[in-house]
Structure 1
Amino acid sequence: MSRTSICHGDTVLEAVRSPTSAGVSEIAASWCRSVFNHGLDPEGRATRERLDGAALSALRAEHEVMLAVAAPVLDHMFRSVGRSGCAVILSDARGVILERRSGDADAAGFSAAGLVEGARWGEAEEGTNGIGTCLFEDKPVVIHRDQHFASRNVDISCMDAPVHDPHGRLAAALDVSSCRDDHGTAMAEMIAALVRDAARKIERDYFCRHFAGRRIIFLSDDAVTGSALLAVDRDDLVVGASRAARLRLGLSDAVLETPRALGQVLGEDAPPLSNRPTVRCCGRR
């Protein structure tokens, strides 16, 4: 065991024992969850959990539509960051890696770090990490090197953003990870912005694919919550709403169970329909 890993473990446990650290630091709060909720040890050397081939194939089949929508976005992201030694990863909502894009020269390093298809990277398995913490908190995160809980993960930098399905439920984490020690915090923040944009695109395309044939109304776009979109039928009844639209308009599954008029959903003071653009998604209007 290296001196670096011992020092990191001591730092984590000291923060966990502090009565105030969890209240002032989101990283420390996640470290506390790792210890108290999941019973993990920052110096633990347990075998990494990974699905076998059959289980992974079944899980990928379950997410077939999302993976088809995400594939071109992952490819584009990898073209943008792959040459800098980064991998582009998509997990499911439990932190199981479904897809990975990495360069040939870096693939062995990512595999050695456990960033492979079928590996489990939820907080319950790995403690504080980009994928697991993003999913737990349901928001974009940057977990840079020694911010990880486990000492074995301190050589990784992770930039993540959540992806929600067409019904606003958490569906995945989009991750860009680097195992290179020349990737500092400034580069991590720049890549994190690209990750957030890419996650929003996956959400938009996933929403439009699901509501293909419906008219999609664009309400707003936000760097954190994503695109606020409504799907309406030919009678202008709202039949779907993205997570951002649900948050903005206070919509729930129960409210959307019965289609409501667009004007009713938007409120009496909403601008005329002609001022609300219909967006083109997935090759449809």
Structure 2
Amino acid sequence: MVISEKKLHIDRILGAVHSGSAAARSSLAASWRRSVERHGLDPAADISVSRIDPAELHGRREKHDRFMMVAAPKLDHLYRLVGNSGCGVLLTDDAGIVLDQRCTDADSDTFADWGLCVGADWSEAAEGTNGIGTCLTEQRQVTIHRNEHFFARNIGMSCMDAPIFGTDGRLLAALDVSSARADQTESYNQLIGAMVGQTAKSIESDYFRASFPKARIIVADSGDADIATLLAVDSDDIIVGATRNARKVFGLEPTGALRPRPASDIFGRDDGPTGFEKAERAAVVRALARADGNVSQAARALGVGRATLYRRMKRLGLGE
């Protein structure tokens, strides 16, 4: 890396940080400013990427064990798409610690030299503006291309990242594809970024489904096909889980546990019977369906007499 290029980068960063308006006009400049003013970082610093000790790494991986198992096939698939172009795939926790990685054996030493390895801390507090840390800080998909990074030592990299949210609506992880190739173009980054975003959505959806194995999963239309909008509903029609976007779309608690509420309430199906009458009607309809319309058989299944079932059907507005 030419010294003058690093010097120009440092001057550009500091100029934006000390500008009275740059941070207001640009989210990138705002991140540079956070790096200096909030985290006390110097773009000229040439320290190595920090890594947590093995015991702490083991604890973090153990905490996210089920999530990592769900994510692993998606990481493999994404790596098959981008690995031959010199890119690596990384998965971090919500603090920016790399928990899992995919890269070729030929590139592993290079990625380790860049600090793109399991156990590395890529939070914005540690590394300033970078794909992983800025994605987690702003909780949105980002691409940080080469000299958009904060540290001058990182301007040879391109990083495409997307956040992953947990079943409680809170930030859970970041998915990253990084490359240190000098010929990596911004247009190519856009293509990779699209794959990263789609894979992050798929991981979030798969983890949500895996977290509610006994529930019925409802896929809702939120008007944005790139965001997971899922609800988990139990056998009593009570919503027991919702993805971050579903919480937003349906006005549910933004994070944490959900207040019990019938799924039919949020979908606006208020016509017809209510309360116990609705539950009774649903039970009768299910029994008739399982009996292929045979009233005698349905009555036996419900534990009532045939005449009693006829009376209930009449009261509930159900034809024979």
Common topology (TM > 0.5): yes
Distance 1:21 1:228, change over 3 A: same
Shift of 1:108: 1.4
Q: In structure 2, how many angstroms separate the alpha carbons of the residues matched to 1:184 and 1:163?
A: 25
CA distance in structure 1 between the aligned counterparts of 2:23 and 2:9, rounded to whole angstroms:
17
Q: Which residue of 2 aligns with 1:85?
A: 86
CA drift at 1:47? 3.6
Residue equivalent to 2:30: 29
CA deviation profile, 1:128-186 (whole Å, cap 9, x unmatched): 00000000000000000000000011000000000011111100000000000111000
Q: Aligned with 2:159: secondary structure?
A: strand
Residues of 1 paired with 2:4 and 2:225: CA distance?
40
Q: Per-residue deviation at 1:46?
A: 2.8
Segment drifting more, 137-146 vs 38-47? 38-47
Amino acid at match of 1:159: M
Distance 1:252 1:60, change over 3 A: same
Letter in 2 for 1:126: E
Map residues 77-226 of structure 1 onto 2, 5 A cutoff: 77-220=78-221, 222=224, 226=227
Q: Secondary structure at the match of 2:220?
A: strand
Higher gyration radius (CA):
2
Alignment of 1:189-268 (within 5 A): 189-220=190-221, 222=224, 226-252=227-253, 257-268=258-269
Shift of 1:54: 1.6
C-alpha displacement of 1:4:
1.4
Deviation at 1:127, TM superposition (A): 0.2
1:71 is aligned to 72
Q: Compute the displacement of 1:235 (Å).
A: 1.3
- 1:227 is paired with a residue whose SS is coil
Partner of 2:289: none
Deviation, 1:267, is 2.9
**Which amino acid is 2:91 matched to?**
L
Residue pair 2:220, 2:229 contacting (<8 A) in 1 also: yes
CA deviations over 1:91-138 (Å, ceiling 9, x no partner): 000000001100122111111111111010000000000000000000
Cα contact 1:220–1:227 (8 A) shared by 2: no
Contact 1:134 1:161 in 2 (8 A): yes
Structure having the larger proportion of residues in strand = 1
Closer, same or farther: CA 36–197 of 1 in aligned 2, 3 Å: same
Q: CA deviation at 1:79?
A: 0.2
Following the alignment from structure 1 to structure 2, what is the Cα–Cα distance between the partners of residues 107 and 15? Answer: 34
Check the 8 A contact 1:90/1:174 in 2, yes or no. yes
Alpha-carbon distance, 1:31 to partner: 0.2
Unaligned runs of 5+ in 1: 271-285
Q: Shift of the alpha carbon at 1:257?
A: 3.5
C-alpha distance in structure 1 between counterparts of 2:115 and 2:256, whole Å = 42
Contact 2:164 2:172 in 1 (8 A): yes
Deviations 1:78-97 (A, max 9, x none): 00000000000000000000
**Aligned partners of 1:35 and 1:99: how far apart in 2?**
29
Deviation at 1:18, TM superposition (A): 0.8
Gaps in structure 2 of 5+ consecutive residues:
272-320
Residues in 1 aligned to 2:57 and 2:217: alpha-carbon distance in whole angstroms: 33
Q: 1: distance between equivalents of 2:50 and 2:42? A: 16
One-letter amino acid of the counterpart of residue 183, structure 1: Q
Counting aligned pairs with the same residue, the percent is 47
Instruction: Provide Cα deviations, 1:222-268, integer angstroms capped at 9, x if missing partner.
Output: 355x2100000111111110011011112116895332111212334
Q: 1:165 to 1:208 in 2, by over 3 A?
A: same
Secondary structure at 2:229's aligned position in 1?
A: strand
Q: CA deviation at 1:45?
A: 2.0
Q: Which has the higher contact order (CA 8 A, sep 6+)?
A: 1
Larger displacement relative to structure 2 (72-81 or 37-46): 37-46
Aligned partner of 1:275 in structure 2 is none
Q: TM-score, normalised by structure 1?
A: 0.91
What TM-score do the two structures reach when normalised by structure 2?
A: 0.81
* Contact residue 42 and residue 149 of structure 1 kept, 8 A: yes
* Number of equivalences: 269
Instruction: Give, as a single letter, the amino acid of the residue that structure 2 aligns with 1:97.
Output: V
More displaced stretch, 215-224 vs 142-151: 215-224
Say which is worse superposed, 215-224 or 143-152, in terms of deviation: 215-224
After the TM superposition, which of the residue ranges 1-10 and 21-30 deviates more from structure 2? Answer: 1-10
- 1:63 corresponds to which letter in structure 2? H
* Structure-2 change in CA distance of 1:244 and 1:42 (3 Å): same
What RMSD over aligned residues (CA atoms) do the two structures have, in Å? 1.7
